[in-house]
Chains A and B, each alone.
Chain A
Amino acid sequence: MFVDVLVRQDKYGRTTPLSITWKDGRTYEIDRIQQVCKAASLKAGGAGIRYTCLIRQKQTYLFNDDGKWFVEAKD
């Protein structure tokens, strides 16, 4: 299940996701990115760069899989 993501790309080529927009149109700001690493998501099905994001005090994994973004909800 892919999502729309607003991304800032800086002059060094670094990518920072700023907010996530759900399929129903609701948008969530990303308050903080705690960690960035390469990882696979067995739960959502995919692999790529994983951003550990803090959204409204909740930790969420946001993945960039070859240019497409998806979210793996943490229980």
Chain B
Amino acid sequence: MERAVLHVDCNKFYASVECLYRPEIRHLPVAVCGDAEQRRGIVLTKNEIAAKYHIKTGEAVWQARRKCPGLVCIPPDFPLYMRFSAMVREILSDYTDLIEPFGLDESWLDVSGSGNIGSGVFIAEEIRRRVKFELGITVSVGVSFNKIFAKLGSDYRKPDAVTVFDRENFRRLVWPLPACELLYVGPATSKKLRSCGIDTIGDIAAAPPDYLHLLFGKMGYVLFRFANGLDNEPVAPAGSAPVIKSIGNSSTAPRNLENDGDVKIMMMVLAESVGRRMREQGFRCSTVSISFRDNLLNGTVRQRKLERFTSDSDEIARAGIELFRGSWDWHLPLRSVGISCSGFEHESGPFQLDLFDDGERRLRRERLEKTVDSLKARFGNACIQRAALLGDKKLSGFNPYNDHVIHPVAYFKP
């Protein structure tokens, strides 16, 4: 039987929710922006009116203001967006239990088995109508026989629309679209494709798969399958916890970071949060990676394999700091740093002892960290801190554990 896959995309999600609650700004150009005081002053989303001024997501607020002097900037209210996201999902769950969220504002649904309610198009129309009536925001829905085309569909016509890409029309409608519309074709891939004369999704579909493989490795075959509608990734059932592959935190500093000492403070705060989140999952990691951005916004990522698995914040921080020292020469000050752990094993498993290391001591440290975690859970993040962080409270005075709640997601599941 042909699959019926829906992709539901909340249009300009944050801005739409804000405009719902503030009728007085609905007719103005509105952008939801990070805190400029904390130097996180970038545009997170904008409404349709602001979009007409070519304001882009991720752009600095001052740049956006230059394009549109009357721009209304609103600080984000993440708890509110998460409530709306949950309410949208509640509506979706009336139609199927196969709901796979892709970020806060997008979801795939497999309604192949929901024929007693109606066809894919019927359900899509009903979802569109209900979200608008019950929540006061709009969604666009793509209906197709695979997830990739469904996602293209929700992007094809918006806001407040339903688009169907079926086996009859996809060559006519999908293939003329620019290649960069396809999932996993980012700026670098798209540039490379263009240089080979591949401009549209149809061009990818018509290219020999081995040629694409030569250009992009195994992603080449994936793109070929995507473009030809051969993707058969299943929609994950609702509530299935995504398998965690990495845990990380990053933060933009309230001032420029000028030396190793500054970075050390940031790394320790971040590692503390990463370690705590990892211990909550019962993980130990084998790989630490760091990322940082200089004040011209050039990013760098470095990673290293640890000698043994660990969930110790201190060890993670030290690995991160060491890694950093070997990879930055301070020709420019830094703006943000991040640290993340991967290569997990479960802590209930056995761990490798070291002839020259005191295993008993490691276990004691693990217990100590967990005690600190439970103190923080009960009395707040600031109730117990490392002395090293007290030197510069402005730099260490952020809480990545609580601040960071929205995790980016990947299309492929392991």
Contact = CB atoms under 8 A, between A and B. Distances in A.
B20 interface: yes
B20 A42 contact: yes
Contact of B23 (A38, A43, A47): A43
Interface string B327-350: 000000000000000000000000
A44 interface: yes
Interface residues of A, number: 12
A44 B134 contact: no
A41 B136 contact: yes
Contacts of A73: none
A42 B134 contact: no
B134 A46 contact: no
B23 A42 contact: yes
Interface string A37-60: 111111111110000000000000
A66 interface: yes
Contacts of B83: 66
B135 interface: yes
A47 B83 CA distance: 11
Contacts of A39: 133-134
Contacts of A41: 136
A45 B135 contact: no
Size bracket of the B interface: 10 to 19
B21 interface: yes
A44 B136 CA distance: 11
Nearest to A49: B134
B83 to A, nearest CB: 7
Nearest to B19: A45
B22 interface: yes
SS of B interface (majority) = helix
Given A47-B135, A47-B136, A66-B83, A40 B23 contact: no
A37 B21 CA distance: 19
B178 to A, nearest CB: 35
Contacts of A43: 23
A2 to B, nearest CB: 12
B127 to A, nearest CB: 14
Contact of B133 (A40, A45, A46, A66): A40
Most chain B beta-carbon contacts within 10 A, residue among A42, A43, A45: A45
A45 B134 contact: no
A45 B19 CA distance: 8
A47 B84 CA distance: 9
A46 B84 CA distance: 11
A38 B84 CA distance: 13
Interface in A25-40: 37-40
21 contacts: A37-B134, A38-B134, A39-B133, A40-B132, A40-B135, A40-B136, A40-B137, A41-B136, A42-B23, A42-B136, A43-B23, A44-B23, A45-B20, A45-B21, A45-B22, A46-B20, A47-B20, A47-B134, A47-B135, A47-B136, A66-B83
